[in-house]
């Protein structure tokens, strides 16, 4: 009986791997970058597909090349570089440690680059639509809206 269960588990695992290997970008990306030894904040759930299809944002609104040139002609299935390949330091720099650093130096830190991408666009969107940042319909701008409290 036990053996049969183990067999079934292994079998389902193989199926799952096979399915994932064939697919491209996930519709929703769990932002759990493996370069971090440990995340201080809870893992952000990023609805990638929604941004493209519902919010109608060009690929180049978020993806760019080594010269910061927007990659507007990307297609799903293209080999897209991860942010951390250029914004290399896993972590966030702020407060005293960040004093005197230019924005570009701060964006050497992965989380700073990510935040500098997500937050300004969300703020602009909310302002344009006249949404208070606490409105459930507003794009998330506060820490807890993106990094929900653990244990919930
Ligand atoms: C609102 C911002 C945003 C938009 C718009 C966007 N992306 Fe992304 N995309 C991301 C982020 C953030 C990641 C995660 C990258 C990371 O973790 O380094 C990602 C990941 C990806 C990946 C997976 C990379 C990998 O191998 O892990 C692909 C492929 C991709 N995007 C393609 C596209 C294409 C094609 C478009 C346009 C049709 C697009 N993206 C539009 C932000 C965006
Ligand atoms: C191929 C290298 C490369 C990749 C991959 C890359 N960046 Fe950048 N990024 C740069 C360079 C170079 C700059 C210009 C220096 C700066 O402003 O920090 C830049 C600038 C930025 C800026 C400032 C934009 C502005 O208008 O001033 C943000 C925000 C940013 N990157 C976020 C991201 C995010 C988020 C990803 C992944 C979806 C990403 N980057 C992927 C190289 C890259
Ligand atoms: C270029 C603009 C832009 C960028 C960059 C962007 N977003 Fe958004 N995001 C939006 C818009 C527009 C909405 C929809 C707000 C609304 O419905 O009014 C949104 C909504 C969201 C929502 C709520 C989704 C929902 O179902 O209501 C999440 C979560 C989110 N964004 C995460 C992120 C994260 C994480 C990043 C950075 C990796 C990011 N976004 C980058 C434009 C952007
Ligand atoms: C728009 C969504 C968004 C908002 C708002 C936001 N973050 Fe993040 N944050 C992210 C994403 C996405 C990452 C990247 C995580 C990854 O790729 O592993 C991140 C990464 C981080 C990291 C590095 C990873 C870790 O957990 O140690 C820290 C620290 C962090 N954020 C703190 C904050 C703080 C503090 C605030 C409020 C001042 C904040 N964030 C607001 C989306 C957001």
133 domain residue, yes or no: yes
145 Cβ contact partners less than 8 Å away, ≥ 6 residues apart: none
DSSP conformation class of 75? -
- For residue 110 and ligand 3, the question of a CB distance below 6 A is answered with no
Q: How many distinct structural domains can be found in the chain?
A: 1
Question: How many Å apart are CA 109 and CA 55, to the nearest integer?
Answer: 27
How do residues 30-62 score in pLDDT, each as one tens digit?
999 999 999 999 999 999 999 999 999 999 999
Which CATH number goes with the domain that contains 77? 3.90.10.10
Q: Which domain holds residue 75?
A: 27-146
Cβ atoms within 10 Å of 146's Cβ, excluding its own: 21
- For residue 33 and ligand 4, the question of a CB distance below 6 A is answered with yes
- Rounded to 5°, the CA angle 150-151-152 comes to 95
**Where is pLDDT greater, at 100 or 15?**
100
Residue nearest to atom 41 of ligand 4 (CA): 143
Cβ atoms within 10 Å of 25's Cβ, excluding its own: 13
Distance from residue 3's CA to the centre of ligand 2 (Å): 51
15 domain residue, yes or no: no
Q: What is the pLDDT of residue 110?
A: 98
Mean pLDDT for all residues in the chain:
88
88 domain residue, yes or no: yes
Distance from residue 66's CA to the centre of ligand 1 (Å): 15
Q: To which residue do tokens 């009986």 refer?
A: 1
């Amino acid at each position: 009986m036990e053996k049969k269960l183990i067999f079934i588990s292994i079998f389902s695992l193989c199926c799952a791997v096979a399915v994932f290997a064939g697919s491209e970008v996930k519709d929703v990306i769990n932002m759990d970058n493996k370069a971090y030894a440990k995340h201080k904040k809870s893992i952000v759930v990023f609805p990638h597909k929604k941004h493209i299809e519902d919010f109608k944002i060009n690929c180049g609104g978020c993806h760019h090349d080594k010269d910061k040139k927007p990659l507007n002609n990307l297609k799903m299935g293209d080999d897209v570089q991860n942010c951390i390949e250029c914004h290399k330091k896993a972590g966030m720099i702020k407060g005293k440690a960040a004093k005197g650093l230019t924005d570009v130096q701060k964006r050497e830190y992965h989380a700073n680059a990510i935040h500098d991408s997500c937050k300004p666009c969300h703020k602009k969107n909310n302002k344009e639509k006249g949404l208070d940042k606490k409105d459930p319909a507003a794009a998330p701008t506060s820490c807890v809206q993106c990094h929900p409290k653990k244990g919930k």
